[in-house]
Structure 1
């Protein structure tokens, strides 16, 4: 009986750890979640109404970029640009779309030759994108978010 009593006391002492509740702090949960969070990717890219029929995240992105390029091409085709040298350059448009769907051109990066030959190119590009159709902002975890990206635009003038 004495051995039985010692064995029960031993199990009771050892089992106390199983009943001990660990306190979970919300800050710790938030920190852990933020570590696993991919800040460079969105669940849905910005889009135009015309891209609603596209399925899949990548297809919507392609549709959005192609729509922007199409608007740029149409607008730039209205202008007669005269150059002394042939230009074949890829311009980088650094773009921001805020969480309200407002479109901003942050910077336009082009070669020195392109800037020399077409000094008004920056203003032409900015005016081309002034009257865009309604843009739906990007979505990350069911929240509208601001996105920044680079849109390459090829300029080829002979």
Structure 2
């Protein structure tokens, strides 16, 4: 019995060194976590109150884009863009949703676009796209983040 106890004690004493594992430092853990994060995707897309009731992420995303496009088209429909630029039927608008829930709009034009007065169109957009409904920013790991996307906006011909 004493021999078995002594043998078990020796086994425990010498086997502890094999159980010892290296504990990673804070910096190593941080670097590992940062590598695992997909920075191109957000956990939750921006949203508006009309879309908050939807539970499916894809439906909520589509609802947000539809709402945003319809609101921009509605605000631009009462303007003179269609009469000033009759050949212009669609504008691509870069929408930026900042973490503080503010929106920025900037028209995107082809690089070879000289047919349109881009400064005038930009100023009309900035003047019309004010008093926008409240937009909740995108969420990444529980933190509001900046997101950008380009929406095609159809200019209504009257």
TM range (shorter): 0.7 to 0.9
In structure 1, C-alpha distance between the alignment counterparts of 2:102 and 2:32, rounded to whole Å: 32
> Residue by residue, what CA displacement relative to the aligned partner does 1:74-101 show, whole Å, maximum 9, x if unpaired?
1222124325753344x22222211110
Gaps of 5+ in 2: 1-6
- The equivalent of 1:110 in structure 2 is 109
1:98–1:147: 8 Å Cα contact kept in structure 2?
Answer: yes
Superposed CA RMSD in Å reads 2.9
Q: How many residues align?
A: 148
TM-score (normalised: structure 1): 0.76
- The equivalent of 1:123 in structure 2 is 123
TM-score (normalised: structure 2): 0.76
SS at match of 2:104: strand
How far apart are 1:21 and its partner, in Å? 3.3
In structure 2, C-alpha distance between the alignment counterparts of 1:12 and 1:60, rounded to whole Å: 58
Higher strand share: 1
> Residue by residue, what CA displacement relative to the aligned partner does 1:42-93 show, whole Å, maximum 9, x if unpaired?
111111111112222222221111111111221222124325753344x222
In structure 2, C-alpha distance between the alignment counterparts of 1:25 and 1:155, rounded to whole Å: 56
Gaps of 5+ in 1: 1-6
